[in-house]
Structure 1
Amino acid sequence: MDAVRLFARHQQPLDPATQVPEETVCSRRYRPRQPHIYNDTEIGALLVATDTLSPLFTAAVWRTLIGLLAATGMRPGEACRIGVDDVDLDNAVIQILNTKFGKSRLVFLHPTTVTNLRHYLQVRLDHVPATTRACPMLLLNSRHTALDPNKLAVTFRKILAEAGITTIVGVRAPRLYDLRHTFAVATMLGWYDQDVDVQARLPLLSTWLGHVDPASTYWYLHAVPDLLAHAARRLETRDAAAGVQS
């Protein structure tokens, strides 16, 4: 039934009369949760909403955290474990060490991200005493110790509310982790708009995100309607061209 549902979802944008079997029919014990894909307006609202946090250093930390997640697609836990020495702004790169599955990787930064990180590092220097016992992590809490990834949800709920991003009844509330999903989806949509071979580039995105293999990244194709519609249109165009040639 998983295969039938997947095929039906691909077919539905081409033929709206296609029926997709309910998830309750022969459902699996585990199903990935539907991610919330933030649009540009929502991401901007989240960044603005961090200004309401206090003290001011906390606001700067959260603005940097949300910006990093949106711009790089890294996991929140990875961002919390970045050390100041892991950030090389001269070469616009961050090294992420010993993350999920024991993997390490490099994440390259957009010039605007570099600019914002330089500003944050100056704010951090002004607020955190430069002693030999100072915490070496990049992102710190109000006590100047490392952010705890297990305690991010409470503050993020406040930011969501301030940004006016409400939860639809019966739908899971947007998460900080969904910024990672948003990055992946935006990247793939960009490839579709550029008319490049998304299938061939998936391994590149998988490496960037730190996935074990492209199969983990491929999940986005059937989890997000916009990507599904792009894939369906690509398939329809290819099949039409093949029909003309034959």
Structure 2
Amino acid sequence: MSSLHQALADYLQLRRSLGYKLARSEKLLRQFLVYLDDVRAETIMAEHAIAWACQPPNIKSSWHSQRLTVVRGFAHYLQSVDIPVEVPAAGALPWRPCRATPYLYTEQEIGALLKAATTLSSSLRVATYQTLIGLLAVTGMRVGEAIHLDRSDFDARDGVLVIRHAKFNKTRELPLHATTFTALQRYLRCRERQRLPERAPALFISSAGTRLLYCNVQWTFQRLVRRAGLVARTRACRPRIHDLRHSFAVRTLIEAYQTGGDTQQRLTVLSTYLGHVDPARTYWYLSASPELLGQAAERLTRGDGDRS
């Protein structure tokens, strides 16, 4: 089994050199190798992979499928380097992924969230969550990208935010509107007035001066959702913090249609701004809004579909 452990290290190193982070995959694959040791398996067999993937039994089938997918990727790599293993069949644990229906926030709802943030327990928390929610709403960045920003990532001279080590280890620069730039400067001044026991290099900090945690941000955001009076539109369409990103993308495309702009060019720029690997990933937003689909259909009807 020592050869499999070494092969796993080589596999992770290779994929990380291509930009993948693989924190969860590494954890799962190490657990899988421990399982193989426990059952005294000399190599990877499909039956072992499926038995491990189905643990624990009383959870969603999507998790079992994801666990098996991680093993399949590793097994394919082992075969490519001539290590004899079985690759479990792709349909051994079928699961059809289903995206949540985006909750597209109106300007009034975003305003209600910002107002709800004024009820938080300290002036720093109020400023932190108002600025964070506002930044997500006007840039469409991922929550994880925002809370991993450092102060040095805010270029006050050029009015730019630098997003480092995003998905696929990509780095990008986000030009900021003057109002966003002003809001960030105001937040930094609020930070400086606080007497904190410690200060992390993070741009957004907690009341203790530490970097915000993803789980705490999610919990606080759901509190603000309730205080703002926002409710689910359907069972599959509930207000999530990630939907601020969806809302930004849809508003950007709707504006391009309404102003008669080159929507194909806007989509390409939007894809870069959002940090997508390629524009094809951004096309999904076209189906996220009935209003956006209506704008596209109207342009096609007018006969200028070559720009849609």
Give TM class, smaller chain.
Answer: 0.7 to 0.9
Matched with 1:25 is none
State the distance in 2 between where 1:49 and 1:137 align. Answer: 24
Secondary structure of the structure 1 residue equivalent to 2:303: helix
Q: Does 1:106 align with 2:180?
A: no
Equivalent-residue separation in structure 2 for 1:113 and 1:239 (angstroms): 34
How much does 1:169 deviate?
A: 5.1
Find the aligned partners of 2:246 and 2:153 in 1 and give their Cα distance. 24
- Residue in 1 that maps onto 2:105: 38
SS of structure 1 residue aligned to 2:97? coil
Q: Secondary structure at the match of 1:127?
A: coil
Q: Give the C-alpha shift of residue 239 in structure 1.
A: 7.4
Distance 1:233 1:120, change over 3 A: same
Match of residue 13 from structure 1: none
| Counterpart in the other structure of 2:116 | 49
The reply to whether residue 214 of structure 1 matches residue 274 of structure 2 is no
Question: What is the distance in 2 between the residues matched to 1:82 and 1:118?
Answer: 14
Please give the secondary structure, in 1, of the residue aligned with 2:282.
Answer: helix
2:47 corresponds in structure 1 to: none
Q: In the aligned structure 1, how far is the partner of 2:302 from the partner of 2:136? A: 34
User: Displacement of 1:128 after TM fit?
Assistant: 4.8
Q: Would you say 1:121 and 2:121 are equivalent positions?
A: no
In the alignment, residue 188 of structure 2 is paired with which amino acid?
L
* Aligned position for 2:141: 74
Identity of aligned residues (%): 44
Report which of the two structures shows the higher radius of gyration computed on alpha carbons.
Answer: 2
Matched, 1:176 2:241: yes
Aligned 8 A contact 2:100 2:236 in 1: no
Q: Does 1:89 align with 2:156?
A: yes
Could you tell me which residue of structure 1 aligns to residue 301 of structure 2?
Answer: 236
Which moves more between the two structures, 199-208 or 101-110? Answer: 199-208
State the one-letter code of the partner of 1:215: A
The alignment covers a number of residue pairs equal to 212
Cα shift readout 1:148-176 (whole Å, capped 9, x = no counterpart): 12332211111111111122352332111
Is this contact kept in 2: 1:128–1:144, CA < 8 A? no
Please report how far the alpha carbon of residue 115 of structure 1 lies from its aligned counterpart in structure 2 after TM superposition: 1.2
The one-letter code of the counterpart of 1:206 is S
Hey, what's the Cα distance between the residues in 1 that align with 2:295 and 2:162?
Answer: 33
Distance of 1:141 and 1:44 partners within structure 2: 22
Deviations 1:108-150 (A, max 9, x none): 1111111111111011111154x8x631001011221111123
Instruction: Determine the structure 2 residue equivalent to 1:11.
Output: none
Q: CA RMSD in A?
A: 1.9
Does the 8 A contact of 1:202 with 1:214 survive in 2?
yes
TM-score by length of 1: 0.81
> Matches of 2:186 and 2:149 in 1, distance apart?
17
Measure the CA separation in 2 of the matches of 1:90 and 1:43.
28
- Aligned-pair distance for 1:203? 1.3
Aligned equivalent of 1:9: none
Contact conserved, 1:49 with 1:159, CA < 8 A, in 2? yes
TM-score (norm 2): 0.65
1-structure distance, mates of 2:251, 2:233: 22
Q: Is the 8 A contact 1:188 1:198 kept in 2?
A: yes
- Partners of 1:128 and 1:121 lie apart in 2 by 13
1:225 CA drift (Å): 0.9
Does 2:223 align with 1:162?
Answer: no
Q: Which runs of 5+ in 1 are unaligned?
A: 1-27, 241-246
**Aligned mate of 1:152, from 210, 217, 231:** 217
C-alpha separation between the residues in 2 aligned to 1:169 and 1:204?
A: 32
State the Cα distance separating 1:47 from its structure 2 match. Answer: 0.8
